[in-house]
Amino acid sequence: VKSEGGGKKKLSKAERLRLQKEEEERRLIEEEEARLRAEQEEAERLEKERILREETERLEAKDQERRGTELAELHLLEENFLSAMQWKADYRAHAKWEHYMQCDGSPDPAVPQEINTFMTLWRENKNEDIEFVIEKGNQVLNLIKKLDFLLLDTPPNELTEKIIAQYQESILELQSLLHQKYNEATEHLLKKANTYADSDSGNMEVVIKDKNITFCIWGNLKKNPRFGHHMFSDAENGFDLPKAVATSDVAVRILHTHYDHISPLPHVPTLHLKVDAPESKQKITLFCDMKEEEEKEVEQESEDQLVTEGRKVRDKIHPSTISFKDNTKNDTDENEKLEEESVITIETSLSPDQILLIASLEVATDENEEEIIDENVVDLHQFTPVGGVYLIDALKLPPQAKQINGWTMVELLDLGLEMYPYPPESEETNDATYPRIGVTLRLLDSVIFFEEPLVARWDSAGKQWRTDGINDIKYKMKEKQISFDMDAFYTITLIQDAHLNMPYQSWELRPTGTDELLFTVVTAFAEVQMQIKGNQCMLSSVIVDGGEQLSHLTGRWTSPVSLTVALKKAGVNIFPSDYSHKFVCVNKKTPLAEITAYQQMALVASAFAFSWSKWNLVSGQDQVVFKVSEHLKTDTVTEEDWSLYMFNGQRAQRLKINESSEAFSEELASNTEFHSTLYHLIKDFASEEALEKVKKTSCLFIDAVYQLLIATRVLTYS
């Protein structure tokens, strides 16, 4: 209201009260409307939750009703694992018989009498030249490889402590004998060093390259300090000697073994099955002995009986009833016997091999081992030698033959191969400083170094690799060359972080044909593709920085165990160990959920693709989440074909969310149900062609897929 002068008219008191009353009434009406809306929304939310809860309870009840039927159907598919186990046992027995029938003179490394006879006969042969030792050494390496394979491939329930100790003792004796023979051949070579004299320098030089070793030796015949620096041109290894050494009767050997016979053998944990009496509840107790020392022997007859009983238990109980609990009812004698052992009780029907795997994962996760304090000591749980071992030795040059009046005369010394001490060993020189030895080494083309490796020396007294005593390291990674100084002559290896390629960035399991699939693991440094066909697998490619590597390994069919060994030896480690969780940010999952998921993924992998999901990181320890798609073609899986599945080992469900959703939710996808197994959930959406393909899948293919999934553990290390 304006006055005649254009200003605002002053409101009367009555008008102000009226306006205030109207404003208050409007506010009350708005508040009431907001309250009613909130109540309505809350009622709708509660109603929605009630409907969802009732629907969930209905689906859970339905799942429980058909649980027995589904588990029985899954049990029939699971027989593939026992069939594969039996096939491999028969194959090992057949291979043993075939070896016996060949009668070619080669020993069976698993038979102590044969391997001991082989070593004794070779040990008695003397004065063998280096070429013969290298050739014979390849046979020894093959025997060691067979024993390593037996330790890795034999089901844990069949490996008694006695067998493990026997195999490892044979491996150590073969390694020692091979090293002894190289020393004897070196001594034999040095006795006639002057016959290998170089025309330019007058000094001895011999280089021998083989698929498993590079042997370089230099003899200081002229004692000219100008030749203290030497490079073996054929091998690209070299050294730079201090003047005091360069003027002495000395030889320098660089023996590069492309294998590692220096590091301690890996410990093989022993797991023993104990089956309760028939009148008690069926269950299996596992005693997981993680100690380094062998404390008792288990007779083979008893072990076979336990395996048989374990299979009987498997036929009566399903894996969904697996439970882990401490056994606290041992009597006094058992407590003394099982001191320092982890005891786990499992109610299950998985094969003994799978039971032991779940138990070992549970033990490994909880294990607290004393950490290495000395920063110069290499922790072989965290790091691994790559590219073999370089034995760099200074040797005393034996007296050489001389021609006198038509006679060849030589002083004979029966001292064996003598090491040249440097620095000199004497009380007066303990605190003295001596010039360092320069070394240049050529790296193997058959391995990959993703980063500049550590240089470590072997400490024979402490039985460990150390990084002290080595200085001024210079890398030429493109030229595959490394040089450094050391204060004495050492055995050297190059150390790489064993977990550079963990955790993985993604993975995919994609069928490409009948009993065929492609398994891809992408890491921060490489993309590794492995092909599985039947019971064999093959490295398809390793791509690093856009280029393919390890061409010597690709395209070769082998067993899953052999492929994992070959990749780790080549520096590509995508296979976690029992200690890897200490050094990698692990997406921890319960062993039951993880192992059962691998098992059921393998059962249907011939017709269904699986892949990594980001939601697996936030789904909790008890649940694993991954992408699934029926895939009967050979091309790649498109993004819209994937569906998200969640599984805890006892219940499987299809999720409503997808990979691009904003938040994680366990809400069921529309028109889906709970199932007791992953197989039956997939079955709801599968075509008849896909299901028929699953039923006809070879048990050996299923086992091979399962082995690679277990080896890579993609659900926890991605």
pLDDT of residue 334: 43
Q: Are 634 and 512 in contact (CB under 8 A)?
A: yes
Give the model's confidence band at 680: pLDDT under 50 very low, under 70 low, under 90 confident, else very high. Answer: very high
Give the model's confidence band at 309: pLDDT under 50 very low, under 70 low, under 90 confident, else very high. Answer: very low
Asked whether the predicted pLDDT for residue 446 surpasses 90, the reply is yes
pLDDT average, residue stretch 622-634 = 93
d(CA 88, CA 82): 10
Ramachandran bin of 139, using left for φ above 0, alpha for ψ from -120 to 50, beta for the remaining angles: alpha
pLDDT average, residue stretch 601-624 = 95
pLDDT average, residue stretch 595-600 = 94
> 134-178 pLDDT, tens per residue?
999 999 999 999 999 999 988 887 888 999 999 999 999 999 999
> 550-577 pLDDT, tens per residue?
999 999 999 999 999 999 999 999 999 9
For the chain, the average pLDDT equals 84
pLDDT of residue 410: 67
Asked whether the predicted pLDDT for residue 424 surpasses 60, the reply is yes
What is the pTM assigned to this prediction?
0.82
> 312-365 pLDDT, tens per residue?
434 433 443 344 333 434 444 444 443 444 444 444 445 556 665 666 666 555
pLDDT of residue 278: 38
> 213-236 pLDDT, tens per residue?
999 999 998 888 888 899 998 889
Rounded alpha-carbon distances, angstroms, from residue 69 to 318, 322, 593, 600, 663: 12, 18, 21, 16, 35
Least confident of 409-413, 498-502, 533-537, 566-570: 409-413
pLDDT of residue 426: 65
> 255-305 pLDDT, tens per residue?
999 999 999 998 876 654 443 433 333 344 444 444 443 344 444 444 444
Instruction: Quote the crossing angle between the two packed helices 699-712 and 591-604, to the nearest 10°.
Output: 140
- Which one-letter DSSP state was computed for residue 572? -
d(CA 309, CA 108): 30
pLDDT of residue 14: 82
Asked whether the predicted pLDDT for residue 607 surpasses 90, the reply is yes
d(CA 294, CA 301): 19
pLDDT of residue 522: 97
Q: Detail the DSSP E strand segments found in 569-715.
A: 608-611, 624-630, 643-647, 652-654
pLDDT of residue 659: 93
Share above pLDDT 70 across residues of the chain, in percent, rounded to a whole number: 82
pLDDT average, residue stretch 20-41 = 87
pLDDT of residue 415: 76
Asked whether the predicted pLDDT for residue 92 surpasses 60, the reply is yes
Asked whether the predicted pLDDT for residue 408 surpasses 70, the reply is no
d(CA 533, CA 530): 10
